[in-house]
Structure 1
């Protein structure tokens, strides 16, 4: 199954010491998609963030290379919603606003649960 990975999700491995790819495999997902807009957000964080957030953004940038990169114009959240609708993919995110938007649209959402595992919400 396919999953689209958001910016904050690519930062989970550093922030919460959790292997998102192992967790996604455990949930049955094996095709990982990252929009280039997410990479752009990570690049901005690498230059503007400090401390652990900066390290997490660098690691997230590296992890994204293990995924299918999709080029599409627009704001990252809008691209993620659009891609999820077109591909039928679930979305891995911790962004509360994006989660709410996706759930209202009937799109499956995966999120960090109890800081130590991923869970499919819908």
Structure 2
């Protein structure tokens, strides 16, 4: 199954010490997609953040090597919403605003639960 990974989700391993790729495998997701809009967002965060948040963004940028990159630029949330619809993919995100938009379109959402595991929202 396909999953699109949002910027904040790529930062989960550093911020919460959760292996998102192992958790996604456990949930049955074996195709990990990252749009270029997310990569652009990470590059901006690396430039602008400091301390542990900057480290999390740098690690997230390095983890993209484990994903399939999709050429799709623009506002990351809009790009993710459109790609999820077009590709019939789920989305891994902790962004509440994006989650609500995805749920309105009946797109499966995966998020961090209890700061230690990923879960597919009903």
TM-score (norm 1): 0.98
Tell me the CA shift for residue 65 of structure 1.
1.4
C-alpha distance in structure 1 between counterparts of 2:34 and 2:63, whole Å: 10
| Structure 1 residues 76-91: aligned runs within 5 Å | 76-91=76-91
Q: CA deviation at 1:11?
A: 0.2
What is the CA deviation profile of residues 58-81 of structure 1, one whole-angstrom value per residue up to 9, with x for unaligned ones? 000011111010111321101100
Unaligned runs of 5+ in 2: none
Q: CA RMSD in A?
A: 0.6
2:84–2:107 CA contact under 8 A, matched in 1: yes
Structure 1 runs (4+) deviating above 4 angstroms are none
Aligned length: 122
Return the TM-score normalized by structure 2: 0.98
Secondary structure of 2:119's aligned partner: strand
Give 3-state SS (helix, strand or coil) of 2:115's partner. Answer: coil
Tell me, in whole angstroms, the C-alpha distance in 2 between the residues paired with 1:72 and 1:18.
27
| Residue number in structure 1 paired with 2:71 | 71
